[in-house]
A and B are shown apart, each in its own frame.
Chain A
Amino acid sequence: MTTKTAEAAGPLLKSPRRRRVPPELSIFLVLIGIALVYEILGWIFVGQSFLFNSQRLTIMILQVSVIGIIAVGVTQVIITGGIDLSSGSVVGMTAMIAASFAQASTWPRALYPGLTDLPFFIPIGVGLLIGLAAGYINGQLIARTKIPPFIATLGMMVSARGISKWYTKGQPVSGLTDQFNFIGTGIWPVIVFLVVALIFHIALRYTRYGKFTYAIGANAQAARVSGINIEAHLIKVYAIAGLLAGLAGVVTAARAQTAQAGMGVMYELDAIAATVIGGTSLTGGVGRITGTVIGTIILGVMTSGFTFLRVDAYYQEIVKGGIIVAAVVIDVYRQKKRTKH
């Protein structure tokens, strides 16, 4: 292309391939900022370093890995302009059901005495399938009946919690095989989280699935006219979110080496918080997995920091709520600035 034609075509300059500062940078700086505040407060009030303590950092990341796995799915849902309130309950449901297929024959009160000592992939597979099914039902409800995602997933939230209580009439499921528990040991949950995040980071940025997800969130009607089968796509997105909640349930049970009906309560809200703190806009069309990963770590640092500073658990929740609201306020402010001209 000669410069002359470029001029005639108006100022369409050569596009720089890597453009602008990535939006994650500001979130990352917030993370650094929070960590530094803890570091300083740590030296003042506790007399030790917050950051230079590998054990603390490991525990911190371990604690939020499950939230992170869920948040990767929730991020995709929110990018389409939807919401998923069911993930916490799905964690509880899949933890219970997966664990019931992971019991050792040495355990005297196995739920299915004939189905003990199964290889690890069976309970894991069952957990993933149950999660996938829950997400699929969410997706079908939203795509076919056009009810708001808030309501559809609210229904699933209540029902899935009910199933986890009904499944054993409230009894915990214990005596799990070492094979199964292995996935919850050491830093395995962190590895699972990061691998899941990487897979869906790539899927969102480089595949047609990702492009369509953003397009639907930006303008569903325009996406439809552009040939996207919105119903089928939304079912996919919600099914993936359910699958990841199922995975989170499996990891939760394996970490605890037991499953209880109350597992995962409020996880959906932590996952939504991590997503929103990470810069994903609730109005749809905007958001990235990298942001969500940072958002998840921010949640972890906050909690871990409070404990480190020996802040009362009551205050922790109060402040956490404030921070979540602040993140959305910043998002709204950003949107406003954008539409100013």
Chain B
Amino acid sequence: MVVSPSTMAAVRASGAVPNAEFLLSAEGVRKEFPGVVALDDVQFRLKRGSVHALMGENGAGKSTLMKVLAGIYTPDKGEVCLKGVEIQLKSPLDALENGIAMIHQELNLMPFMTVAENIWIRREPKNRFGFVDHGAMRRMTEELLHRLNIGIDPEIEVRELSVANRQMVEIAKAVSYNSDVLIMDEPTSALTEREVAHLFQIIRDLKAQGIGIVYITHKMNELFEIADEFSVFRDGKYIGTHASTDVTRDDIIRMMVGREITQMFPKEEVPIGDVVLSVKGLSDGRFFRDVSFEVRAGEILGVAGLVGSGRSNVAETVFGVTPAKAGTIKLFGKQVDIKSPTVAIQHGLAFLTEDRKDTGCLLVLNILENMQIAVLQDKFVKAGFVQESAIEEACEAMAKQLRVKTPNLYERIENLSGGNQQKALIGRWMLTNPKILILDEPTRGIDVGAKAEIHRLVTEMARRGVAVVMISSEMPEVLGMSDRIMVMHEGRVTGFLNRDEATQIKVMELAAQ
């Protein structure tokens, strides 16, 4: 029996919903896109009052499944059941009215509206003249936020909130629909540890109220901390569901990649050469002050620090994206004035930015056009004309070396998974043959397999004598890959740690002060 979403919503409103074993389940779901089978005979079962994590590499199908569950995609085959009753969700609104709310990675709040307006949008309480009753809305919001133990002023405009607080507002909004199911897409990717702890507390409270949570993450430790169960997907196929207490980290990685990853961090000891980049007393007058450090050829300098500590800003200033207010930068012992990224590239610098979508990919262009853009500054061009076949060959060879998974280089880069986009962008910089490589969160939002490959590439670059500066929020990555670690806190360098003395605790002590 298929029930239309509106009927189901009406039944739900009347409170006469059957008490099935699973809150939400999917069986035999298939979803095809031109050229790819994103989901192939996939199943999923969410228990009442539990957190169910979806695990898998990028492109494994977990995002597609999540979108099917949230009514964004309609499956080609298979059924989705809400409390044991098959239902066809035709839109996210359908899903919401049936108690399935999704919290997107890109938060969908309106920045110039208040917290209360954002939460009750489309359902604003009205007074008897038909106008919005702001007093009632405020009270409702206060009550809701209080219940969730979220300390945010309902009257504040969303644009003034931190990312973490926006996330909390999204959660409050989802809960305000009396949702039975919350779908969270990498909710912690931009949060600090303390914020994560608060989020987890809220998730536990929601769980206690019988709400089921679908939780998507790439972070293994979160899985053990918050999830009751998890399902693994690989290449659009369902691999299995387990209780998170039954398995080890290695088990999960094996399920996700279908192979053993023997060495997570292929760090190699390579001879360290002369100082290549030397930064002294650098300030941008805004985000960081008096930053000094050196990097040598073949060395990997890890940069640790909490979000907002100014790490990315230092990288941007060194690369000429934002101007320096004070301080000097020396390359190979010579002082240089890096006015723009153009100058930086001429000096042999390369900079993989933090945000793939905003400052990395040329989304509407193809992979070839994305890879060649930086090297065209001074190579592969004769009298203004691009030497098409030469650059194509170089890009093809690079894409092969980097194992970019694509049928050909004429695919739009936006059709690639995050990991493959990242590889293509690394290729963009490797083509320029840099002497100094600055990487800002090189493996954020990337699956385990691609992560390992990127680590392998970074190691390879260091072996070739490239000086690497690697900013990362992932402690194991910083500890595993770096020769030395520079730690920043609120715009200042708080210390350096050598590879042999660095531990998670020491780094955190410097980062949190």
Contacts and interface: CB of A to CB of B under 8 A. Distances in A.
Contacts of B404: 10, 12
Interface string B384-407: 111010001000100111011111
A171 interface: no
Task: Indicate the size class of the contact surface on chain B.
Answer: 35 or more
Contacts of A224: 321, 340-341
Given A223-B373, A226-B428, A286-B364, A10 B38 contact: no
A227 B377 contact: yes
Given A1-B400, A225-B351, A227-B344, A11 B362 contact: no
A15 B342 CA distance: 31
B408 A218 contact: no
Most buried by B among A13, A207, A214, A226: A226
Contacts of B359: 219, 221-222, 225
A214 B344 contact: no
Nearest to A6: B400
A57 B288 CA distance: 66
Interface string A120-162: 0000000000000000000000000000000000000000000
Contact of B340 (A214, A223, A229, A284): A229
Contacts of A15: 392, 396, 408-410
A153 B53 CA distance: 52
Interface in A207-246: 207-209, 211-212, 214-215, 218-219, 221-229
A9 interface: yes
B501 interface: no
Given A1-B400, A341-B38, A218 B364 contact: yes
Contacts of B374: 226-227
B384 A285 contact: no
B149 to A, nearest CB: 37
Contact of A222 (B36, B360, B388, B396): B360
A339 interface: yes
A229 B344 CA distance: 12
B410 A19 contact: yes
B412 interface: yes
B10 interface: no
A311 B390 CA distance: 54
Contacts of B412: 338
Interface string B357-390: 0111111110001001110110001001110100
Interface in B30-73: 33-34, 36, 38
A169 interface: no
Nearest to B63: A341
A222 B361 contact: yes
Nearest to A337: B34
Contacts of B376: 208, 211-212
A52 interface: no
B439 interface: no
B408 A207 contact: no
Interface in A1-25: 1, 5-6, 8-16, 19-20
A281 B412 CA distance: 15
A19 B367 CA distance: 14
Contacts of A8: 403
Nearest to B32: A341
Nearest to A15: B408
B302 to A, nearest CB: 22
Nearest to A281: B364
A8 B374 CA distance: 27
A219 B381 contact: no
A224 B316 CA distance: 12
Contact of B396 (A12, A206, A214, A215): A12
B408 A225 contact: no
A319 to B, nearest CB: 31
A340 interface: yes
Contacts of A223: 362, 373
- A-side interface size class: 35 or more
A8 B344 CA distance: 35
A285 B400 CA distance: 26
Interface string A260-292: 000000000000000000000101111000000
B408 A16 contact: yes
Given A227-B344, A228-B373, A211 B410 contact: no
B361 A219 contact: yes
A223 B409 CA distance: 19
Contacts of B363: 218-219, 285
A20 B374 CA distance: 26
B103 interface: no
B415 interface: yes
B294 interface: no
A211 to B, nearest CB: 6
B369 A211 contact: yes
A218 B373 CA distance: 12
Contact of A221 (B358, B364, B369, B392): B358
A16 B407 CA distance: 10
B358 A208 contact: no
A143 to B, nearest CB: 13
B384 A209 contact: yes
B369 A215 contact: yes
Contact of B372 (A19, A209, A211): A211
Interface in B282-307: none
A9 B410 CA distance: 17
A206 B391 CA distance: 12
Contacts of A221: 358-359
A38 to B, nearest CB: 34
Interface of B: 33-34, 36, 38, 319, 321, 340-342, 344-345, 351, 353, 358-365, 369, 372-374, 376-377, 381, 384-386, 388, 392, 396, 399-401, 403-410, 412, 414-415, 428
16 contacts: A9-B400, A12-B399, A14-B408, A16-B408, A19-B408, A19-B410, A207-B386, A214-B369, A215-B373, A219-B359, A222-B361, A222-B362, A224-B321, A285-B364, A286-B364, A338-B412
